[in-house]
Structure 1
Amino acid sequence: MSQTAQIPSHRKPRRAASSTRALRAGVTGGFLTLAVAGAAAPALAAEPSAAESTLEMPTLGSTLASSAAQSADATQQAAADYQLQAQQDQAAAKAKATAKKAKAEADRKAQEAKEAARKAAARRAAQEKAERASRTAERTSLSTASSNTTSAPSTATKATGNAATLINFLKAQVGKAYVLGSSGPSSYDCSGLTQSAFNQIGISLPRVSQDQSNQGTAVSLDNLQPGDLLYWGARGNAYHVGVYIGGGKFIGAQNPSTGIVERDLSYDPPSGAVRLL
């Protein structure tokens, strides 16, 4: 055994590697840096006596900045959505107001048209009433005149010359049929009969009643002469014609039921007369 083997050692025991360490901290490039310094363990005697280890982690400022950016984006998007909705609401309100105004205008025009139609109908009714009253008055006057003529015939009512030829032709047609649009010789309508009769004495008349009533010279129903053309309705717009033959009588193609007949003026008083002879 060595002589030194039993000599106790006077060296102080070494501290544990973890006994003393210093903590240093710093921020570098947005990361937190931790440095640990202390006495090296015996096994690390060859390493530097002060060792540093760095631990990197995101800083709180970076996280807050990211959150703030997201919040700003959300706020901006919400503002844009709100503005778009406001524009849509404004456009809808404007369209609604325009439609309401257009409807009101259409209703106003419809009401005006309705009122105009009502007034026009009232005017037509009043005019027709006045015309009926006028025709009634004329017929009453004519009826009175016819009665006077019948009771006291005048020599002026006796047909001569062309008037006699005209009346003789008309009397020869009495009893024949009334056919609308016919001009003889076996049947006639009212204007077809008068046209054919006046053709016998060389007087050419238009084919229809309206035009025939506009020929010649208008005469009073109180001053009729044989051969005068009688008309019913307004002159130039007559709906029926016949011929006065004297003695308060006329001949005409009345209708399909009666055919061509000779009647007193009181049977169907005419509206007026024209003289063609």
Structure 2
Amino acid sequence: MSHTAHIPSHRKPRRSASKLAVRAGVAGGVLSTLAMAGTASASPSAEPVAETTLEMPVLSLDLAGDVSSAVTVAAENTRLAAVEGELTAQEESARTGAAAEAKQAKEEAQKKADAEKAEKTAKEEAARKAEAERSSRSSDRTSLKSTSAPQGGSTVSAPASGSAAAIVNFARAQIGKAYVLGGTGSTSFDCSGLVQAAYRQAGISLPRMSQAQSSAGTSVSLNALQPGDILYWGSKGSAYHVAIYVGGGKFVGAQNPKTGIVERNLSYDMPTGAVRVL
């Protein structure tokens, strides 16, 4: 190993051939220019060289204004798009709401029509039942008159005695007292309450309601009534009114709050049917 190997070299680094060529070209151009200038100054006959000034075009660009205008246009377009979107949403919401309201109105109208139809049907049915009951009463009245005794048109029946007399006497003793719905004595009665109380005098327990009382005992014809028989109005088993036949073509019953307990001829309000418990 050389003793000088560790000493750094003081030589300048070699320039590359390309860099030397560039520099040589630049130097040559400068020298040529200087030579031409000297020659021109040495010849007095040469015309002076006129200097020409080239004016560069001036660009009048207002960049700040253009940018501001573009931003304004973009913002306006964005606002218009938002407004249009909002209007579209409102129109869609209005259409949806109108459709829902129309559907609800149609359903309510249908319900109302159904209710009116049901009410009309119920009224017609009630009218048919009432007409049937009137026809039945008229038929029973005709039958009763054809078999009545000459005296006062009453049905033929034996005088009340025994239990029947107790029932009749009690019923007649209540004439003039008040009619009170649900009343069972001793100062007021309703129709079935009076019948139940009268039969209690004979030691007979009857159901409380007129519907059940019209099904008690055995059915009897209106032209074969006997004192103490239970008269009913309406269908058997679903009667709406009851009273007690007291003989002589008459009955005693708690009629209504206006008349109270009264005695009436059968012709006053012909019953639908009768049952015999005794």
TM-score, with structure 1 as normaliser: 0.66
For residues 149-198 of structure 1, what are the alpha-carbon distances to aligned partners after superposition, in whole Å with 9 as ceiling and x for unaligned? 32378776655543343223323x16432342543445544333212101
Which has more strand, going by share of residues?
A: 1
Q: 1:103 aligns with which of 101, 105, 109?
A: 101
Deviation of the 1:114 alpha carbon: 2.2
Task: Give the distance between the partners of 1:227 and 1:214, measured in 2 at CA.
Answer: 15
Root-mean-square deviation (CA), in Å?
3.3
For 2:255 and 2:175, how far apart are their aligned partners in 1?
11
Q: 1:44 corresponds to which residue?
A: none
| Match in the other structure for 1:9 | none
- For residues 159 and 247 of structure 1, the distance between their equivalents in structure 2, rounded to whole angstroms, comes to 10
1:243 is matched by which residue type in structure 2? I
Q: Specify the SS of the correspondent of 1:205.
A: coil
| CA deviation string 1:224-253 (max 9, x = no partner) | 444332223455554432012344332223
- Match status 1:144 vs 2:145: no
Counterpart of 1:165 in structure 2 is 166
Partner of 2:274: 273
Q: Partner amino acid for 1:197?
A: A
Q: Unaligned stretches of 5+ in structure 1? A: 1-19, 27-31, 33-58
Secondary structure at the counterpart of residue 151 of structure 1 = coil
Q: Which residue in 1 is equivalent to 2:261?
A: 260
Quick one: distance in 2 between partners of 1:270 and 1:86?
81
The question of whether the paired residues in 2 share the 8 Å contact of 1:142 and 1:266 is answered with no
Letter in 1 for 2:79: D
Contact 2:155/2:249 (8 A) holds in 1: no
Q: 1:229, 1:241 within 8 Å by CA — same for their partners in 2?
A: yes
Which residue of structure 1 lines up, in the alignment, with residue 47 of structure 2? none
Name the structure 2 match of 1:116.
Answer: 114
In 1, Cα distance between equivalents of 2:252 and 2:209: 17
Q: Which residue of 1 aligns with 2:197?
A: 196
Q: Percent identity?
A: 39
Letter in 2 for 1:178: A
Which residue in 2 is equivalent to 1:176?
A: 176
Q: In the alignment, which residue of structure 1 is the partner of 2:28?
A: none
Q: Report the Cα distance in structure 2 between the residues aligned to 1:177 and 1:139, rounded to whole angstroms.
A: 28
- Structure 2 counterparts to residues 73-84 of structure 1, below 5 A: 73-84=71-82
Distance 1:95 1:113 in 2: 27
User: 1-side partners of 2:88 and 2:62: how far apart?
Assistant: 39
Question: For 2:250 and 2:236, how far apart are their aligned partners in 1?
Answer: 21
- Does the 8 Å contact 1:174/1:262 carry over to 2? no
In the alignment, structure 1 residue 227 sits paired with structure 2 residue 228: yes
Cα contact 2:148–2:156 (8 A) shared by 1 = no
Contact 1:252 1:262 in 2 (8 A): yes
Contact 1:213 1:236 in 2 (8 A): yes
Under a length normalisation based on structure 2, what TM-score does the superposition of the two structures give?
0.66
Deviations 1:69-116 (A, max 9, x none): 223322321221122012101111011101211221122122212211
Alpha carbons 2:144, 2:155 under 8 Å: kept: no
Between the two structures, name the one with larger relative contact order (CA 8 Å, sep ≥ 6). 2
CA contact 1:150–1:247 (8 Å) conserved in 2:
no
Q: Is the Cα–Cα contact under 8 Å of residues 234 and 271 in structure 1 kept in the other structure?
A: yes
Task: Figure out how many residues of one structure are paired with residues of the other and give that number.
Answer: 225
Residue deviations 1:190-229, cap 9 Å, x none?
3332121011122223444455445455555456444332
* Structure 2 counterpart of 1:67, from 65, 68, 78: 65
* 1:67/1:163 CA distance change after superposition, 3 Å: same
